Amino acid sequence: MKTSNYLFGVLFLLFFGVSISFPLDSEKNTFIASNQVISESYIWTGNVLNFNGHALKDLILFGREVAVRGVVEGDVIAFAKRIEIEGEVKGSLRGAGETIDVRGKIGKNVSLAGKYVNILKGAEIGWDLLAGAQRLSVEGKVDGDVKGGAGEGILGGFVGGNVELKLRELTVLPTTQIKGNLIYSASREATIPKEAKIEGKVIFNPLPTQPPKPIRMRAPLSLRLFWLLSLIATGAFLVLLFPRHLREMGSDMLERPWLNIGWGFIVLIVTPISAIIIAITLIGIPLSLMSLAIYFIAIYLSTPIVGTALGLTILQRLLKREDVNLYLSMAVGVIIFYILQNMPILGWLMSLLGICWGLGGIRGALGRRIRAGRLANG
């Protein structure tokens, strides 16, 4: 279909600068030996990474499993299902995943989001820890403050500053040492053992038992309904033009969610920076403006694309068959994702992850299209 070729060609202009900068092989397992030195910032995507070397700058990692056991002079940014940090990171650590285990030494700040976030015994954090998790365990050493939220929280290590947590339940172990204050909100007050040493104040703020009053939406309901219908209409137009591409894209996004989110994050950050650099040349201003326009269109399209991927997996599991109606899948998925985007507190995070996931899916589809064209041309 000519329309398909034209749109893929235009989108290629948007992502070309990103795609040629990084490897397209996302199935690889990589081992970096202890005697290897990485002199430049190392950007890796793949299946499993075991990093035992010495990085003189930053590590930016996207994959299924990531283990850093070497020395990193700069920062580590990691998006993976499982993240293990056992070496020394002299900068900051930022990451998101299902399970995150930190056993090593982090020179500066640590910011983590995941299902299980564990600062294990032997871990040392030079500055502050900021974390959000279903289960947060802090049994290592944090020289600064500990802040965040969790369903279940466990304190058992050393904290040089204050601890401020909002959670459902807090467990304080006898090995806990807190130089500052312990301020927490929970459904019930924690039992603090006599052996635990808290030099500051202990302030417990009980969570309200009554459901909070609904927050009045800023935008009128009619406007929100109009926006939802426009997303569904856009999704239906995409299904009409690219049914096969959307199915392939949805399958890839569901098989490798963190990898696609990581690529989408790169596209989200790098594209506007590249457009600004191009605009500085003056003669590149038209190309820069066109790139930014396509960039914002791609961000808008990320919602129906993510909705299609979600709808496909939901209907396939409910109906117990692979061949489900693509229009219905898209509509169901867009509605569910729209509800997630408008959740209180976590809505902004859902929107950010959705944008990155959708942009990563588009980048993956373009990469497959380019490789198929090269094979067809011999």
Query: Do residues 58 and 72 touch, judged by C-beta distance below 8 A?
Result: yes
Enter the DSSP assignment of 176: -
- Segments in 242-346 forming alpha helices (H): 243-255, 257-280, 285-319, 326-341
Query: To which H or E segment does residue 2 belong?
Result: helix 2-19
Average pLDDT per run of 10 along the chain, which is 378 residues long?
42 39 55 95 87 95 91 92 95 91 97 92 96 94 95 96 95 97 95 96 86 55 80 88 87 86 88 79 74 88 90 84 86 87 79 90 83 70
Largest CA distance in the chain: 74
Query: Residue 342's pLDDT is what?
Result: 81
In degrees to the nearest 10, what's the CA dihedral of 270, 108, 85, 364? Answer: -10
The alpha-helical segments, DSSP class H, found in the chain are: 2-19, 221-241, 243-255, 257-280, 285-319, 326-341, 347-376
Q: How far is CA 123 from the centre of its chain?
A: 23
State residue 214's pLDDT score.
53
State how far the Cα of 132 lies from the Cα of 49, in Å rounded to an integer: 24
* pLDDT tens track for 28-54: 799 999 999 999 989 887 789 999 999
Burial track 163-176 (b if 16+ CB lie within 10 A, e otherwise): bbbbbeebebbeeb
Asked if 158 and 144 touch (Cβ cutoff 8 Å), the reply is no
In the prediction, which pLDDT does 367 show? Answer: 79
**So what's the pLDDT on residue 27?**
54
Q: Which residues pair with residue 155 across a beta bridge?
A: 138, 172
User: What are residue 164's phi and psi, to 5 degrees?
Assistant: -130, 110
What is the pairing mode between strands 93-102 and 110-119? parallel
CA 61, distance to chain mean position in Å, is 12
Measure the CA–CA gap between 298 and 187, rounded to whole angstroms.
42
Sheet with strand 54-55: strands edge to edge? 37-38, 54-55, 71-72, 88-89, 105-106, 124-125, 141-142, 158-159, 177-178, 197-198
3-state secondary structure of 374: helix
Q: Give the separation between CA 5 and CA 328, rounded to whole angstroms.
A: 25
* Bridge-based pairing state of the strands 37-38 and 59-68: unpaired
pLDDT of residue 177: 97
| Coil vs helix vs strand at 45 | strand
Which of 231, 256, 245, 240 shows the shortest CA–CA distance to 337?
Answer: 231
pTM for this entry: 0.60
The string of pLDDT tens digits covering residues 246-277 is: 888 888 888 888 888 888 888 888 888 887 77
Place of tokens 């820890």: 129
